[in-house]
Amino acid sequence: MRRTIRTAVLTAILLVPLVISAPADWGTLTSAQPAPSYTYQGTVRAVNARAGTLELITGVGMSLRVVRLKTAPTTRLVAAGASPRLADLKPGDVVRAEYRRTAAGLVADRVEKLEVGAR
């Protein structure tokens, strides 16, 4: 027991200089390091539920582009009063997707199916 306390105290002493010499934003660089979140709002072009991927049509004016998003087990899917599965989304649906850029590509945190008037 005494040995455990001694180890903890020694560790703390060794770590103190490291902590106080760290840059001011060190905390944000480590603990709060989630990648920034971005949003796409567009039309679903294709869904591959097995692969967990989603293709959206976005763009500006007549210049349109396809973006490919991956979903993760933590991705939340939302629709008016419901929690759809990825497979419930279909081409032509309009969605708002919040996503992060990762080394593996764009990963959706949240995908919301929007109700669009008179289509």
Does 51 contact another protein by CB under 8 A? no
Does 105 contact another protein by CB under 8 A? no
Among 48, 52, 53, 55, binds another protein (CB under 8 A): 55
Indicate the residue among 45 and 110 with the shorter CB distance to another protein: 45
Q: Report yes or no: 99 and 107 within 8 Å, Cβ to Cβ.
A: yes
- Rounded CA gap, 80 and 112, in Å? 9
Among 12, 22, 29, 64, binds another protein (CB under 8 A): 64
**Binding site residues, another protein, CB under 8 A:** 41-43, 45, 55, 57-66, 91-92, 94, 114, 116-119
